[in-house]
Amino acid sequence: MSRLEEAREMFSKDLYATKLSGITIEEVGENYAKCAMKLTEDHKNAYGGIMGGAIYTLADLAFAVASNFDKPASTVSLVGTATFLSMTRGSILYAEASLIKDGKTNCFYDVRVYDDLGRDIAVVSFTGAHLSK
């Protein structure tokens, strides 16, 4: 089984993200993950735009994969701050989580959310806490 398949199997238990939101894990690397979400009518708010919660959920799963997959201790988010930059006109959103700094008890990641047209949609910064297993 490849590392990507292992990550998909591990996070398939996150039913809200994978089943209800339709998020898939596209890439995994050391302290890095890329996830995707095909947009549907279910992701839209009352005004026809993509819900901020859907965008945040995509970023949160990318952070979870990057900070937990293939690690000796689990990591939970303490703070997640989203800055929404623009509305998407595309049909797929991507989230790329990258480590900024890893410490003994805390870690810091930035997640760039963009669409299939290359437009930046949001940046979400996460502070995580490492927990011992």
At the topology level, CATH places domain 3-131 in Thiol Ester Dehydrase; Chain A (3.10.129)
Quick one: which of 85, 82, 86, 91 has its CA closest to 41?
91
First to last CA, the chain: 24
pTM reported for the whole predicted model? 0.95
Q: Domain map of the chain by residue range?
A: 3-131
How far is CA 81 from each of CA 60, 101, 108, rounded to the nearest angstrom?
Answer: 10, 16, 11
Q: How far is residue 114's CA from residue 36's CA, in Å, rounded to a whole number?
A: 10
Which amino acid is located at 52 in the chain? G
pLDDT in tens, the chain (133 residues): 899 999 999 999 999 998 889 999 999 999 999 999 999 999 999 999 999 999 999 999 999 999 999 887 899 999 999 999 999 999 999 999 999 999 999 999 999 999 999 999 999 999 999 997 5
Structure-block tokens of residue 42: 């279910």
How far is CA 83 from each of CA 8, 30, 40, 106, 110, rounded to the nearest angstrom?
Answer: 27, 25, 22, 21, 11
Q: What count of residues does the chain have?
A: 133
